[in-house]
A = this chain, B = another copy of it.
Amino acid sequence: MRTLYHHPLCPFSRKVRVVLAEKKLEFEAHVERYWERRDDFVALNPASEVPVLVEAGGTVLCDSTAICEYLDEVHREPPLLPADAETRAEVRRLVGWFDGHFYRDVTANLVGEKVQKRLVNGQSAPDSRLIRAGFTAIHQHLDYIGWLTERRTWLAGNHFSMADVAAAAQISCIDYVGDVPWENHPAAKDWYARVKSRPCFRPLLADHLPGVPPPRHYADLDF
């Protein structure tokens, strides 16, 4: 059986969980407190970061993009990267956008300050300046999602792809802490409702971090 080392509010772990579920691949999930740098875990990944996927044969895979590309190559159905090279480049551009820009601008500021900092450092108070920066940036990102979905069925084209997975992985973490201003972004909300209703997304909606309960609408498909 394959094992996924992950953390519930790590957006990069969520990417891999959605890809595994979309491809109906079974796995054992192990919640890793990666900041504690457990010896056995550092031996798997010198960066001591989640996600790490250990395949049934013992192959160790690190880095969410490397893992997702591997899973899409080895288990093609359903494909999350399209066959055409140009559209693949567009999917990968958007994966880079959400893993990079969205994470740094929004997720690191909101989830990072409100939850991760407390988990990792004990009682550190959130930095209100960073939280404000996160709230400012999320509007631009949700506008961009709206702009894309007015032109395409899904973020990168006509099919659900790794771009939707990467975006929804980030946004679902923000939604878990109740910080997505859905009321101002109906087009992004419509897209996220479609992602949420996919069976591959259900396990994420059942997440419950001890001491950090999600808001009621988090798991609601009609939010």
What is the interface of chain A, defined by CB distance below 8 A to chain B?
A: 46-47, 59, 61-63, 65-67, 69-70, 73-74, 85-86, 88-90, 92-93, 95-97, 101, 144
Contacts and interface: CB of A to CB of B under 8 A. Distances in A.
Contacts of A90: 66
B144 A97 contact: no
A89 B64 CA distance: 10
A96 B63 contact: yes
| Secondary structure type dominating chain A contacts | helix
Contacts of A65: 65, 92, 96
A70 B93 CA distance: 11
Given A70-B85, A74-B85, A63 B46 contact: no
A89 B63 CA distance: 9
Contacts of A144: 46
A188 B217 CA distance: 52
B101 A89 contact: no
B70 A88 contact: yes
A169 to B, nearest CB: 16
A89 B67 CA distance: 7
Interface centre among A89, A92, A144 (most CB of B within 10 A): A89
Contacts of A73: 85, 88
